[in-house]
Amino acid sequence: MITFSSPFRAVAFETIQNDQYMPAFRNALDESHRNIERILSDKDLPDFENTIESLEYSLTDLKRLELIFFNINSAETNKEIQQIAQELSPLLSEFYNDITLNEALFSRVKAVYLQKEQLSLSPESHKLLEETYKSFIRNGAGLDAEAKVVFRDTTRELSTLTLKFEENLLDETNAYCLHLTSEGDLAGLPAFVIDAAAMEARSRNIPGWVFTLKAPSYTAFMKYSDDRSLREKLYRAYSSRCYHNNEKDNQQIIKRIAELRLQMANLLGYDTYARYVLENRMAENPEKVNRFLQEVIGASLPSARDEVAELQDFALRHNKSITLQRWDWSYYAEKLKTEKFAVSDAIIKPYLMLENVENAIFDLFGRLYGLSFKSNAEIPVYHPGVKTFEVHDCDGHFLALLYLDYFPREGKQGGAWMTNYLEQHKTHSLDIRPHVSLVFNFTKPTENQPSLLTYDELRTFLHEFGHAMHSILSDCRYWSLSGTNVYRDFVELPSQIMENWAEEKEWLEEVASHYATGEKMPETLIDKIIQSRNFHSGYAFIRQLSFGLNDMSWHSLSQPYTGNVVDFEKRAMAPTELFPEVDGCCFSTGFHHIFGGGYAAGYYGYKWAEVLDADAFSLFKQSGIFNRKTAQSFRENILSRGGTEHPMVLYKRFRGHEPSVEPLLERSGLKR
């Protein structure tokens, strides 16, 4: 049994044994099946309560169990848990498929949907009805028997091919290494980069230094190595992954994935895959996304060109007669940045002690929303390092449990994330409050030094806390629409908006004081941190937008593409081209966000979310960054509402108009 402990019905982590998970899941699946049988055997005509709402509540126990298990699998896993995950995943996808392809269930859902105008439902119930019906339709429930077979074959082949794409990419990434044996080849590399490369070589039982195509190794080499021809070599290896006409080549796979996605969209009645995806996004349709991309490209391209020209001049001052190539960018950019702003992690970190930052963030939410955070060590945890808090509202009302898990350890995934052990929802008159967890990988304290954060980690802290607020302040009826259960291009608004405080002097002055002396961070340092944020922002914009163009092109096909992959992407990304062409390279064959991960027709979303957060924050800028009234409106119109209405409706209620790109351009120094 997976049990819960009083008084908050928190997960009793200390009592859970790994061998309890599978039986618990089997029980929960059986229970959900029985609940659905009950809906189907109801003699009354289908209505909102006996069908839509009942379906929503039938899955509560199962969903809670999934949260617990998969969160533990990310934060504190081991071989046994991973094994269970492998066993469990097909069971769950089969269960959810059984629901959407259950014809009797779909016909009840449809019967209710068809009367939606006569039902006088609340906006939230209306949304639940719409989302429920849509999820059946989007998974093929409305197709005739023959089309259903094609649909299932298409999705099956798609999932095989996306896995194959990822596998090829991983294999080619792992297969390559740059092995250096002469010390002379290490010119320019800082000691920590050299040490890591030596360690990599030792782990392979070879002498010298090894650089790989994986993130820290590759990016550090491109940034610091003085050897231009080695940078070119590594760049070419990275940018030609899965483009070697061998058994790991991804060109045919990409074309087939795009074709299958188109086929799936066509079956469901959409002209392109992008239209199918975007129907469930704040941006709504491909036309709007394309206009958005064009607008931001137009606004940032002149700055990006200036930045390239400036860096070209800078490079010429350092190295006669070179034409800036892609493998020169990070290298010279790093040098120029150091010349312009002498800020580094080493200088900033002593001012950002974890405990101080935690307190400052608690205070910030106290000032904005009147919240208080009360430590409660009685709440069971899955690891002794996890801290637990009760969050209370301004009137003392209990709002949420909060788990904070700061430090890396074996068994925890990299990165940082926010998640729940329980989502806010209401049953009858009971408001079930959420159990929210934030997981980080911050630097551990040592014997002589507390945990000190980098500036980026401070932003990460704020970012994840913003996600947590979306959940903590949620005031919705249905689990599936509450908290962070919103459209994907809207979910980063509450998190990204919080990062803005890290660029405000007024707040930084409060947060940053030296851990040993207590002395405030010098004003000049704060100024430099803020100024350096916009270094090369035009270039960064254009690079990200070029990926968005590539993504939209592959997913706006209305006919299968049979031509050359490089020609295709060259056409797609031409408006953002800043460098001379490099032959033998291909971007799409390594674009795992859209061909392996879940960002198909969604890459634009990164920039979209920045537009939202900058536009939303501009209201705080106008009224004051601690303004209670603005915060209250953000809480009422956005944070408490989850996905209960279309995000554009919620957004306009807060901001008074649709998001404008102006505040983002201004913030990024791209306004001309």
**Angle between the N-to-C axes of helices 354-369 and 455-472, in degrees from 0 to 180, rounded to the nearest 10:** 40
At closest approach, how far in Å is the CB of 467 from Zn ion? 6
Report yes or no: 190 and 202 within 8 Å, Cβ to Cβ: no
Q: Which is nearer to Zn ion, 263 or 495 (CB)?
A: 495
Query: What gap in Å lies between CA 547 and CA 543, rounded to an integer?
Result: 7
Q: Which is nearer to Zn ion, 474 or 589 (CB)?
A: 474
At closest approach, how far in Å is the CB of 46 from Zn ion? 38
Torsion sign (Cα): 123, 128, 133, 138: positive
Query: 105 to 164, contacts with Zn ion by CB under 5 A?
Result: none
Query: What gap in Å lies between CA 48 and CA 445, rounded to an integer?
Result: 54
Query: 480 to 509, contacts with Zn ion by CB under 5 A?
Result: 495
At closest approach, how far in Å is the CB of 495 from Zn ion? 4
Interior CA angle at 316 toward 313 and 320, to 5°? 165
* SS3 letters across 496-561: HHHHHHHHCHHHHHHHCECCCCCCECCHHHHHHHHHHCCCCHHHHHHHHHHHHHHHHHHHCCCCCC
CA dihedral 289, 293, 299, 305 (to 10 degrees): 180
Query: What gap in Å lies between CA 327 and CA 174, rounded to an integer?
Result: 21
At closest approach, how far in Å is the CB of 609 from Zn ion? 8
Q: Which of 408, 374, 400 is nearest to 469 (CA)?
A: 400
At closest approach, how far in Å is the CB of 125 from Zn ion? 29
Q: For residue 317, what are the contacts with CB-CB under 8 A and spacing of at least 6?
A: none
Name the catalytic one among 464, 499, 569, 610: 464
Residue 559 zone, left/alpha/beta (φ > 0; ψ -120 to 50; rest): beta
At closest approach, how far in Å is the CB of 242 from Zn ion? 28
Q: Which is nearer to Zn ion, 495 or 630 (CB)?
A: 495
Q: Which is nearer to Zn ion, 223 or 459 (CB)?
A: 459
- Name the β-bridge partners of 422: 435
Q: Give the residue closest to Zn ion by C-beta.
A: 495
66 is catalytic: no
Residue 428 one-letter amino acid = H
Structure tokens at 237: 């290896």
Establish if 419 lies at the interface with Zn ion (CB under 5 A). Answer: no
Q: Which is nearer to Zn ion, 381 or 469 (CB)?
A: 469
Half-sphere exposure of 121 (CA within 13 A, CB side): 22
Interior CA angle at 94 toward 92 and 98, to 5°? 120
Q: Which is nearer to Zn ion, 311 or 491 (CB)?
A: 491
At closest approach, how far in Å is the CB of 357 from Zn ion? 18
Report yes or no: 567 and 581 within 8 Å, Cβ to Cβ: no
Q: Which is nearer to Zn ion, 495 or 588 (CB)?
A: 495
At closest approach, how far in Å is the CB of 294 from Zn ion? 26
Q: Which is nearer to Zn ion, 137 or 436 (CB)?
A: 436
Q: Which is nearer to Zn ion, 495 or 546 (CB)?
A: 495
**Angle between the N-to-C axes of helices 103-114 and 123-138, in degrees from 0 to 180, rounded to the nearest 10:** 140
Peptide bond preceding 207 in cis form (omega within 30 of 0): no
Sketch the per residue contact string, 24 through 63, with Zn ion: x for CB under 5 A, - otherwise: ----------------------------------------
Query: What gap in Å lies between CA 184 and CA 181, rounded to an integer?
Result: 9
Structure tokens at 407: 């430090």
> Number of residues in contact with Zn ion, rule: CB under 5 A?
1
Q: What is Dmax (Cα atoms) for the chain?
A: 85
At closest approach, how far in Å is the CB of 463 from Zn ion? 6
By annotation, the residues acting in catalysis are: 464
Q: Which residues of this protein are in contact with Zn ion, per CB under 5 A?
A: 495
